[in-house]
Amino acid sequence: MCDTLVAAGSVTADGSVLFAKNSDREPNEAHELVILPHARHSPGSAVRCTYIEIPQADETFAVLLAKPFWIWGAEMGANEHGVVIGNEAVFSKIPAEKKPGLIGMDFLRLALERGATARAALEVITSLLETYGQSGNCGFTHPFYYHNSYIIADPSEAWVLETVGRQWVAEKVVGLRTISNVLTIGEHWDLASAGLVDTAVRRGWCKDRDTFHFARCYSDMLYSRLGEGHSRQCRTTDLLSARRGGLVAEDLMSFLRDHGADASPDWTPTPNLLGADVCMHASFGPVRANQSVGSMVSSLTPAVQTHWMTGTSAPCTSIFKPAWLDSGLPETGLSPKSEFDEASVWWRHEQLHRAVLQDYASRLNLYQAERDALEADFVRSEQEMRGQSASERAAFTARCFTRADAAEAEWLNRVRRAPVKIKMPVLYRTAWKKFDKQAKLT
């Protein structure tokens, strides 16, 4: 489960295109940040994706990826030309294929490596989709098969691309747009695969083109409802709409931390076995099996593209840090795996995150104001750094990561000293005890 948002320059405060995504995966499915350089490849060479090899492009662009550690592709990322992409799992009446093939995250990385504009990246995905289809397990410890939708943006425009098998449909974004784990395109679109309508007519989902509605014809309603994709997509749309014309990157950071319109200061993720918010928290059972394991907000202009990354789970407990493609990422320790490792920044933060979960409202309140102040300082300083050299910006990014890591270490000690004032529900406590045991996190 995930949520992706985009706002065109016509509705933002400074004319930049704003993009944001939460990546929701299993609680121990560690998330990592990597930058891969621009490269040229020998004619006839191949690239190994998560499951299969395909022909390599002659040239691949530098990319910043935010990805599950075990997958070749990524859930979100950016390239050196300012293209950003986020993907969503979507569910259809047409079953997702299970044989090893290209999965949604592979398409995302391939599009970033090969597409110099949002439209070109879209065409990379649709061309590969029509050639290879999409198939393969996307789950970490539990098999999970699905189709994919995407928001693809650059400093000039943005697109929504929704796919089912080898069929696809695309809509150019006007103003603002969000997607979640449901199909959203209806009777109107800008681009589509050749057999899109004919397939629906042949299967009896509509009578003809006049009665065709992509989401209504192709959606599997059971999975779509269980994931509450419609309600989350409505919520993110409302959040963007309320700030139309004045949107800034900090707004989108806030939206990724959203726990719903009714969330009060004493909100806690513990009570329910059902339900899913934009900032997602795992619990007991198959419906709440995921949490937000990483978050990204990008501000895109032709001159500069700044990417705000948590590199850690649960944006409500995390700090967004700035990065640029040309200045790289700082050293963040070992690449994380599924078990706790103090050398990994993702797992160091996970100690804080899981300590906060033991008494969420009370413990988050111990450092939330400091987190917001530190992040606001990063945002103010980032404005001043935009015109500086790559080496100066690299040093600034490194300082932000170091300051965030040090602050989280201090907050962890503070949180652990605080008494737990609530008793977690049995099933919630059971779920997190199991997650901790699997991660060897005590």
Instruction: Please give the positions annotated as active site.
Output: 2
Question: How far is the C-alpha of 217 from the C-alpha of 206, rounded, in Å?
Answer: 7
**What one-character-per-residue DSSP string does 111-161 give?**
HHHH-SSHHHHHHHHHHHHHHH--BS---SSS----EEEEEEE-SS-EEEE
How far from 66 is each of 20, 77, 84, 247, 279, CA to CA, in Å?
12, 6, 11, 24, 17
Q: Sort strands 76-79 and 46-48 into parallel, antiparallel or unpaired.
A: unpaired
The H or E element that residue 403 is part of is helix 390-417
CA distance from start to end of the chain: 27
Three-state DSSP state, 164: strand
Are 57 and 41 in contact, with CB atoms under 8 Å apart? Answer: yes
Spatial neighbors of 198 by CB under 8 A, at least 6 apart, are: none
Strand partners, 170: 161, 191
Question: How far is the C-alpha of 274 from the C-alpha of 424, rounded, in Å?
Answer: 16
Give the residue among 7, 68, 62, 71 at the shortest CA–CA distance from 35: 62
**What one-character-per-residue DSSP string does 193-216 give?**
-TTHHHHHHHTTS-SSGGG--HHH
